[in-house]
A and B are shown apart, each in its own frame.
Chain A
Amino acid sequence: MKFGPFMQKWGVLAAFLVLLGLNIVMQPQVFLKPDVLRNLFSQNCGVGIIAVGMTLLIVSGGIDLSVGSLMALAGGVGIMVMNKSLEGHAPEMMAVWTGVGASILVSVAGGLVNGLLVTVGRIAPFVATLGGLLAYRSLTQAIADGSEIASKSTGGLESLAGAGLPLPFIMGSNHKPLMVQWIIFVFLLAVVAATFLLERTPFGRRLVAVGANEKAAVYAAVSVNAVKLGAYAIVGLCVGIASVIGAAKLNSISSSSMGAFYELDAIAAVVIGGTSLSGGRGRVWGTLIGVLLLGMISTMLVTANVSIYWQGVVKGVIILLAVLIQRGQKAA
Chain B
Amino acid sequence: MARLEARNVSKSYPGVLALDGVSIAFEPGEIHGVIGENGAGKSTLMKLLSGVERPTEGAILVEDSEVHWHGVRESIDAGVVMIHQELNLVGTLTVAENIALGREPRKGLALDHKSARETAKRLLTEVRADISPDTMLEDLSIAGQQLVEIAKALSYEAKVLIMDEPTAVLSERETTALLDLMERLKSRGTTVVFISHILEQLIQVCDRITVLRDGQFVATLPKGECDEATLAKLMVGRELADYYPTKTPSWKEEVVLDVQGLQVPGHTKDVNFQVRRGEIVGIAGLVGAGRTEAAEAIVGLRKSAGSISYEGKPVHFTSPRQALEAGIAYVSEDRKLLGLHLTRSVGENITLANLRAYGSLLLDRKKEQQHIEHWVKEIQIKVSSPDVDVQTLSGGNQQKVSLSKWLDTQPKLLVLDEPTRGVDVGTKSEIYYLVRKLAAEGMTFVVISSEMPELIGLCDRTVVLREGRTVGELTGEDMTEEKMMMLVAGVDA
Contact = CB atoms under 8 A, between A and B. Distances in A.
Do A and B actually bind? yes
Interface of A: 200-202, 205-206, 208-209, 212-213, 215-223, 280-281, 331-332
Interface residues of B, number: 37
A219 B332 contact: yes
A202 B365 contact: no
A212 B341 contact: yes
Interface of B: 47, 52-53, 301, 319-321, 323-324, 329-330, 332, 337-344, 348, 351-353, 355-356, 358-363, 365, 389, 391-392, 405
Contacts of B362: 200-201
Given A202-B358, A219-B301, A213 B341 contact: yes
Contacts of B389: 331
A228 to B, nearest CB: 15
Contacts of B323: 221
B319 A223 contact: yes
A206 B355 contact: yes
Contact of B343 (A217, A218, A280, A332): A280
A8 B262 CA distance: 51
A218 B337 CA distance: 11
A206 B344 CA distance: 12
Nearest to A280: B343
Contact of A220 (B53, B361, B405): B405
**From A205, A217, A221, residue with most partner B Cβ within 10 Å:** A221
B337 A209 contact: no
18 contacts: A200-B365, A201-B361, A205-B348, A205-B363, A209-B352, A212-B341, A212-B344, A213-B337, A213-B341, A213-B342, A219-B332, A220-B405, A222-B321, A223-B319, A280-B343, A281-B343, A331-B389, A331-B391
Given A331-B391, A331-B392, A216 B339 contact: yes
Given A222-B352, A280-B344, A216 B360 contact: no
B342 A202 contact: no
Contacts of A201: 359, 361-363
B348 A216 contact: no
Contacts of B53: 332
B337 A215 contact: yes
Q: Is the interface of A mostly helix, strand, loop or mixed?
A: helix
Given A212-B343, A216-B339, A221 B391 contact: no
B341 A205 contact: no
Contacts of B356: 202
Given A213-B337, A281-B343, A220 B353 contact: yes
Contacts of A221: 319-321, 323-324, 329, 353
B96 to A, nearest CB: 29
Contact of B52 (A215, A331, A332): A332
Nearest to B321: A221
Contacts of B340: 213, 216
Contact of B355 (A202, A218, A219): A202
What are the nearest 5 A-B pairs in CB distance?
Answer: A202-B355, A221-B320, A221-B321, A219-B338, A221-B324
A327 to B, nearest CB: 15
A202 B365 CA distance: 10
A144 B321 CA distance: 47
A1 to B, nearest CB: 12
B337 A216 contact: yes
B341 A215 contact: no
Contacts of B360: 202
A222 B351 CA distance: 12
B344 A223 contact: no
Contacts of A215: 337-338
B391 A223 contact: no
Contacts of B348: 205, 208-209
B156 to A, nearest CB: 22
